[in-house]
Amino acid sequence: MTEPARTLDLYRSRTWAEVNLDAVVHNIRVLRMALPARTACMAVVKADAYGHGAVPVAQTAVAAGATWLGVATAEEALELRAAGLPTPTLIFGPVPAPWLEPLVAAGCSLTVADWATVEALRRMDGPHRPRVHIKIDTGMTRLGFAPTALDAVLDAVGSAPVAVEGVYTHLASADDPDPGMTRRQLDAFTEAARLTRSRFPAAICHAAASAGTLAHPDAAFDLARFGIAMYGVAPAPHLATASLQAVMTLSSRVVRVQRVAAGTPVSYGATYRASRATTIATVPVGYADGYPRALSGRGVMLIDGRRRPVAGRVCMDYTMLDAGDVPVREGDEVTVFGPGLPAAEVAGIAQTIAHELFCGIGRRVPRIYTRAGRPVAVAPDVGTRVVEIGTAG
């Protein structure tokens, strides 16, 4: 057995996630087709690229034409720089003062969304000039300045030793079929962008994330931020497009098969009792791996392409399935979500969204990266430790 094959056997022995990097490329191309030619794209790789692995996804997205990367925290930005990615990178969240110097030295772009950040930047006296994007709160009520404060913000930032690189907002309801709120936000932002550009003509204006890209062409401005759609999930059912390809498949294996009699209790609390003689298959994936406990007695997985219901409560490390009378063997592969069982459907059963499902996939679940259908690398414990394995023969 070759070393790559041995590595794959090792990481496919319990529960693993396969990340199709070709699907990332495909989805970026699909989303770019919805944009004007002048609009650039940002690959949003915060939260470890929604659980897919920040560095491999970022590298792939940049190669596919993304000219910006988006993250939430200082640590996420510096992880990309440590991996050798010099691509312009915007940190969406507020940056504590101790992080300013290393981030500015690394050439990262900062969000200015509050007066404390403005004052911290005004006090900076280093060799590097901070690049900043001003955040405008047009209706999300999360971060940013009110549009009425923008004149004062521009005055303050204009007198600080910074380069105003951009101005942006976030659309709170771009995935809503009723465009009313989005229209109001875009009207407010258009005026904010005009005012900012009157002072800083080269400022990049951006508002659209995945939903805005697909539903509101006039929200494109200079830059679109590709989030959940880049990972192959439509931001809302009415925005679903068959063109997007799922990036992640979560798989596991049956580790125990037991034939039980009618009335046999299964899992904690005996909330499930077999209604007939049946086969119970134990699968080593639980809420510590990111399989929501909310799927207890409600979820399904695929064994040999057939849907099998979750029997009883999801445990920390295991979930039991009622396999009925179909033969099941230890070692059989199980699809937790993937082809035939989309992540969005599984998330819907758990009454959440695919974003949360992806982000919850635990560190102990190795990510296996594929290109052209062949594994090329594995991240054994997520983070930045990626092991090149070549291709399995």
Phi, psi of 16 (to 5 degrees): -150, 160
**CA nearest 23: which of 228, 230, 194, 320?**
230
- Active centre residues (catalytic): 46, 268
CA distance 354 to 361: 11
Contact criterion met (CB below 8 Å) for 259 and 304: no
Strands (E), 81-190: 89-91, 109-112, 131-135, 163-168
Check residue 145 and report its DSSP letter.
Answer: B
Environment class of 139 (CB within 10 Å of its CB; exposed 0-12, middle 13-18, buried 19+): buried
Contact criterion met (CB below 8 Å) for 154 and 195: yes
Contact criterion met (CB below 8 Å) for 219 and 185: no
Environment class of 198 (CB within 10 Å of its CB; exposed 0-12, middle 13-18, buried 19+): exposed
